Amino acid sequence: MNKAELIDAVAKASGLSKADSDRALGAIVETVTKTLKKGGTVALVGFGTFKVSKRNARTGRNPQTGAAIKIAARKVPRFSAGKALKDAVAK
Task: Give 91's pLDDT tier (boundaries 50, 70, 90).
Answer: confident
- The rounded distance, in Å, linking the Cα atoms of 18 and 10 is 8
> What is the pLDDT, as a whole number, of residue 36?
96
Q: Same structural domain for residues 34 and 44?
A: no
| 80, 49: one domain | yes
Classify residue 53 as left (phi > 0), alpha (psi -120 to 50) or beta.
Answer: beta
Are 62 and 22 members of one domain? no
Sequence letter at residue 67: A
% of the chain beyond a pLDDT of 70? 100
3-state secondary structure 27-82: HHHHHHHHHHHCCCCEEECCCEEEEEEEECCEEEECCCCCCEEEECCEEEEEEEEC
Per residue in 52-69, pLDDT tens? Answer: 999 999 999 999 999 999
Same domain, 20 and 46: no
74 and 84 share a domain? yes
Could you list the residue range(s) of the whole structural domain that residue 1 is in?
1-38
